[in-house]
Structure 1
Amino acid sequence: MPKKVRKGRKVRMDEWDKPTLGWKKRERFCNMQPKVRIHRKGGFYYISLFASTKDGMPFDEIKNSGECAEAISSAATELILSMVRPDDEWCIVTTPKRRHFTEYHFATDICKKIARGLNIKFYESAIQCLNKTRINPEFHLLRPITEQRIILFDDICTTGSTITAAYELLRGRKQVLCIVGINNH
C-alpha cells in the first residue's frame, strides 16, 4: 500500500486515518508592550502601536478592556503629538463597526480618548460598511467631514483590507494619518 501524502509532507502509515481538525482558529495575543512600526499597504503607510505576540492577553479580552483602550489611546496621543500639531483642521474617525456584538466598542472608546487628548473632533460612526465581506469591504461616508486633515484609526489590523478601504474613502483630503492599535500580521 503506498504512503499517504497530505499537503506535500509524508504521513506515517499509522497516523493516516486519524481525524484532522481542519483549519483551527489560532488564539491571538498581545503583551501590550509598545512596539511602534511603520507599514506600507498598497499606496499608503500606516503606523502600528502594538504587535501580536505569542503570549499575553487574548484579543477578545483586550477588546473588552478599558485599561487596554487607555494604554492604546495614550500611546496614540503621544505619537500623534510628536508628528503633527492638531488644530481645527484635524479630526479623528474610526473604521466601521463590523462584527460588533456588545454595547462597548473598543475602537470608539480609544478614539474618544484620543480626541480629548488632542482637543479635536471625533466623528463617531462616520463610515458605514455596505457589505459583510472581510477581504473586500465596501465603505460609505455617512456624514460630511469638514476637516481636511484626518486621523484614521483601526483597533486591530490583520489583513489590512479594512484600513485600506477606509483610506480609499478618505484619500482626497490634504492629509490622512493612519494609526493601528495592534498589528496582527
Structure 2
Amino acid sequence: MQPKVRIHRKGGFYYISLFARTKDGIQFEEIKSSGECAEVISEAATELILSLIRPDDEWCIITTPKRRHITEYHFATDICQKIAQGVKIKFYESAMQCLNRTRINPEFYLLRPIKEQRVILFDDICTTGSTLTAAYDLLKDRKQVICIVGINNH
C-alpha cells in the first residue's frame, strides 16, 4: 500500500481512492486481516472526510456488502466503525446484501432503510469497480453520495 489520493470516474459517478497497491508489498489477504492496515486506512479516510463535509445528522457511512467473507473479522466494517467514530456519524453495519456471487455484475439490495440523505459509501479494495457501481446504484437517489475506496487496485 502506498498513500496516493486520487479521484476516478466510473460510469456516471466519481470515487476517491486513498491508497494504491504496489507491485511489491503485502498481499490483499494479509491486508484484509490486519487491524493495523484498517487503522491506517481509517485515519486517512477520516482526515479526507472531515476536509469534505460538515458532519451532522444527515450524514452516515455504509460499506459495500460482505462477499467471499470467511473469517469473523471484516476489514471494511472495522474501517467504517473507526471512520464513524472519528467523524461522529452513524455507521450502518451490513446495510446491503448481495443476491448473487458474480464479481462482474453483482446484484445488491438494502437490508434496512437508510434515513440519512447524505451517504459515504466505502469499499475497501476496488479492482473492476463493479461492486462500487452496484452499491452506488442503490444510493444514487440520495442528496449526496461520496464514494471512498481504501485501495485502488487498477
* TM-score, normalization by structure 1: 0.82
2:79 aligned to which of 99, 103, 110: 110
- Which residue is 1:152 aligned to? 121
- Which residue is 1:92 aligned to? 61
The answer to whether the aligner puts 1:168 opposite 2:137 as a matched pair is yes
Q: Give the Cα separation in 2 of the matches to 1:168 and 1:65.
A: 30
Alpha-carbon deviation of 1:80?
0.6
Per-residue CA distance 1:152-177 (angstroms, 9 max, x = gap): 00000000000000000000000000
Maintained 8 Å contact 2:108/2:135: yes
Pairs within 5 Å for 1:28-107: 32-107=1-76
Count of residue pairs the alignment pairs up: 154
Per-residue CA distance 1:123-142 (angstroms, 9 max, x = gap): 00000000111100000000
Alpha-carbon deviation of 1:119?
0.6
| AA at the equivalent of 2:108 | F
| AA at the equivalent of 1:53 | T
| AA at the equivalent of 1:166 | A
Alpha-carbon deviation of 1:33?
2.6
Maintained 8 Å contact 2:121/2:147: yes
Runs of 4+ more than 4 Å apart? none
| Partner SS state of residue 36, structure 2 | helix
**Percentage of identical aligned residues:** 84
2:146 aligned to which of 164, 177, 180: 177
| AA at the equivalent of 1:181 | G
| AA at the equivalent of 1:103 | E
Cα root mean square deviation, aligned: 0.5
| Partner SS state of residue 73, structure 1 | helix
Q: Give the Cα separation in 1 of the matches to 2:89 and 2:49.
A: 12
Q: Give the Cα separation in 1 of the matches to 2:24 and 2:54.
A: 36
| AA at the equivalent of 2:34 | S
Instruction: List alignment gaps of at least 5 residues for structure 1.
Output: 1-31
- Which residue is 1:28 aligned to? none
